[in-house]
Amino acid sequence: MRLATLMAVYNLGEIAQQNIDYLNLIVEQPNDIFVVDQSSSTWRVPFAGAKTATLSYNLGGPLGFDLALKLSEHYTEWNKLPDYDYYLISPTSGLMDPTGERIEDIISPCVEFLEQNEEAVMIQPAYRSTSNAMNKHMFDTGTGAPRQVQHLE
């Protein structure tokens, strides 16, 4: 089972680096991290522990993530590795470990859930207990009814 983390970064390099450090130090699931730096003006050092492409312009979030996906595909092809089974789309606007004291792995249980539930196509870890308040995307915009969503404790 192979997991790739995709990050599109613009001027939040310190947050991205802290998330990369968390993923590399705490997460038990084997994980390759791919970062697309979109011409950040406030971060000019390489990302330690990640495979990085640096652009001279900002593509925006969706195209940045698409480029990170392509980077991961080329990486597997070039190195003659199997394709990734799962992708973690990692936002860089928030810390996975806000206090620097998190010792639990919040990613591997998500991957295990996907492996055990063939009908599941996407899962998002909650980085803190208040994350559920922001889940308006989990409700159908037409009916207001909850989408078929399962929360893991």
Would you state the pLDDT for residue 143?
60
Would you state the pLDDT for residue 152?
47
Q: How far apart are CA 89 and CA 138, in angstroms?
A: 17
User: How many CB atoms lie under 10 A from the CB of residue 27?
Assistant: 19
Residue recorded with tokens 């009908």: 119
Going by C-alpha positions, the residue among 32, 66, 73, 30 that lies closest to residue 49 is: 32
pLDDT, block means (10 residues), the chain with 153 residues: 87 85 86 88 79 86 88 95 88 75 82 83 64 49 54 47
Would you state the pLDDT for residue 76?
95
Would you state the pLDDT for residue 110?
82
Would you state the pLDDT for residue 113?
84
Residue 55 has which token pair? 């652009």
Counting Cα atoms < 13 Å in the Cβ hemisphere of 100 gives: 4
Residue type, 132: N
Beta strand ranges found along the chain (DSSP E): 3-9, 31-38, 51-55, 86-89
Would you state the pLDDT for residue 32?
94
Would you state the pLDDT for residue 70?
93
